[in-house]
Amino acid sequence: MNRFAMLIAATAIASAAVPASAAQVSATTSVNVVKPVSLTKLQDLDLGTLTFSSFTGTRTIVLSRAGVVTCATDIVCSGVTKAARFSVQGTNRLVVLLTISGGTLSNGVDSIPFTPDGPSSVTLTNTGAPGNDFNVGGSISVAPTLVGGTYSGTINVTAEYQ
């Protein structure tokens, strides 16, 4: 075998013996687990007792989110008042959008317009229990022709992640 052929053969053997270079890279793997939103009613809303004899126009009674009633002129507000209270639970640091609706309070025949007042969102400060509590107040418009009796209605609250 000539020298040139031997040199080519030796180079081929040496090349075959050198392993191919390998490359490796890593990627971080993560997942964000979001607990479902849950909503619980803790307390009903109570506007107390309204007493009036006569007036003209309509009067507005407001119950703050703190449960404090502001009574209109010509009407005496009494009794224990309280705002509705709810608890929302889910995943820490997520924002929960709240939709709060009311409508009317009724005694079965007559009705009183009711407008709820509550927060539009809550930022969760923990995951799961105990959750974040929020209050809902509201206002009613009272007409002088309103018939006496017990009036009731509902507050509907919907909670969903932003």
pLDDT of 54 reads 83
pLDDT of 68 reads 96
- Residue 23 domain-assigned? no
Domain count of the chain? 1
Q: Which domain holds residue 48?
A: 35-161
| One-letter-per-residue 3-state SS of 47-75 | CCEEECCCCCCCEEEEECCCCCEECCCCC
- Residue 12 domain-assigned? no
Average pLDDT over residues 15-23: 71
Summarised one tens digit per residue, pLDDT across range 83-109 is: 999 999 999 999 999 999 988 999 999
CA angle 43, 113, 88 (to 5 degrees): 30
- Residue 30 domain-assigned? no
**Cβ neighbours of residue 145 closer than 8 Å, sequence gap 6 or more:** none
pTM: 0.79
The sign of the torsion formed by the CA atoms of 66, 70, 71, 77 equals: positive
Q: What is the dihedral of CA 84, 90, 95, 98, to 10 degrees?
A: -30
- Residue 124 domain-assigned? yes
Question: 5-14, 36-45, 112-121, 147-156: which range is least confident on average?
Answer: 5-14
- Residue 27 domain-assigned? no
Token digits of residue 152: 């009731």
The sign of the torsion formed by the CA atoms of 144, 154, 125, 32 equals: negative
- Residue 153 domain-assigned? yes
- Residue 62 domain-assigned? yes
What is the SS3 assignment for 92? Answer: coil
Is 56 in contact with 143 (CB distance < 8 Å)? no
- Residue 15 domain-assigned? no
